[in-house]
């Protein structure tokens, strides 16, 4: 196993008058997101949006875009007729396919003072030119037990689960909210990406065993076995289990 720790302070940072974006991979500006990817994960942004603001309608193509709502609520609208408000504990999964326009905004008005915080993640599809689609599910109840939950997956082993389907057969997204003192296991894979959304955890993974991770820290894993975490405080983590890199997963 190889493990690379990226501390919160070392993330790429971008902001304007309404958006603060902290990026595990540089994504805002003139960057080659495929060159900076880990496994099949090309973008992993922790974004805060002020009340009443957001991204106006814009185009995407041939990408699976997942939005995990940490705080507040996001309003999603797209050119294929989906209009949805996703609240904290909910996940949106969009297949851009052959082309879709969408907007994402803080669903709460300016007077609410309620910020929106999301973790947005991009993985490529294993097939280009798919029909565009958008799916949502609330996982609040499923996460209450503190165990890891597969919330999105393109892997056949999760086809019968409650996970949202994504068009990447090499990847699965796990989320957990372990309480203080809770120990959890995450599956090993050729590539893994662990991110601490909140709280503090202690990691048992290769040379980083005993490493303390706090909000905003990320761990990139290669050729790893099972990863064990113990929550020092109430915590929330997201973890990508990936069984290929871009050289295999990206269509020619």
Q: What confidence tens digit (pLDDT) does each residue in 172-190 have?
A: 999 999 999 999 999 999 9
Span of 16-30, 32-46, 86-100 with lowest mean pLDDT: 16-30
Q: Quick check: 29 pLDDT over 80?
A: no
Residues 6+ apart with CB under 8 A from 84: 75, 76, 92, 134, 136
Q: Quick check: 16 pLDDT over 60?
A: yes
Pick the CATH number of 2-249 from 1.20.1250.20, 3.40.228.10, 2.60.120.10, 3.20.20.70: 2.60.120.10
Q: Quick check: 53 pLDDT over 70?
A: yes
Can you give the residue ranges of every domain in the chain? 2-249
Torsion on CA atoms 240, 59, 164, 246, rounded to nearest 10: -40
The reported pLDDT for the residue numbered 47 is 96
pLDDT (mean) for 5-17: 93
Q: What is the mean pLDDT of the chain?
A: 92
Within its chain, how far is the Cα of 121 from the centroid?
4
Residues 153 and 133: their CA atoms lie apart, in Å, by: 15
Q: Quick check: 97 pLDDT over 70?
A: yes
User: Using an 8 Å Cβ cutoff, are 121 and 164 in contact?
Assistant: no
User: Using an 8 Å Cβ cutoff, are 203 and 151 in contact?
Assistant: no
């Amino acid at each position: 196993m190889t493990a690379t720790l990226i501390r919160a302070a070392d993330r790429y940072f971008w902001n304007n008058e309404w958006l603060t974006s902290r990026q595990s991979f540089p994504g805002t500006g003139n960057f080659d997101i495929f060159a900076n990817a880990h496994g099949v994960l090309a973008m992993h942004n922790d974004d805060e949006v002020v009340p009443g603001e957001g991204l106006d309608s814009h185009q995407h193509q041939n990408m699976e875009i997942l939005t995990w709502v940490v705080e507040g609520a996001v309003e999603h609208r797209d050119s294929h007729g989906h209009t949805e408000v996703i609240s904290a504990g909910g996940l949106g999964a969009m297949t851009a396919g052959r082309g879709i326009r969408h907007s994402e905004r803080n669903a709460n008005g300016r007077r609410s003072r309620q910020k929106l915080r999301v973790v947005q993640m991009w993985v490529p599809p294993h097939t280009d030119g798919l029909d565009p689609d958008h799916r949502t599910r609330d996982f609040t109840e499923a996460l209450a037990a503190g165990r890891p939950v597969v919330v999105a997956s393109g892997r056949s082993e999760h086809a019968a689960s409650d996970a949202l389907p994504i068009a990447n057969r090499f990847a699965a997204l796990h989320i957990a909210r372990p309480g203080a003192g809770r120990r959890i296991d995450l599956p090993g894979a050729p590539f893994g990406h662990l991110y601490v959304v909140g709280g503090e955890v202690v990691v048992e993974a290769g040379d980083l065993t005993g490493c303390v991770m706090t909000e905003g820290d990320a761990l990139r894993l290669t050729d790893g076995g099972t990863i064990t975490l113990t929550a020092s405080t109430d915590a929330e983590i997201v973890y990508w289990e990936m069984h290929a890199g871009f050289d295999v997963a990206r269509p020619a």
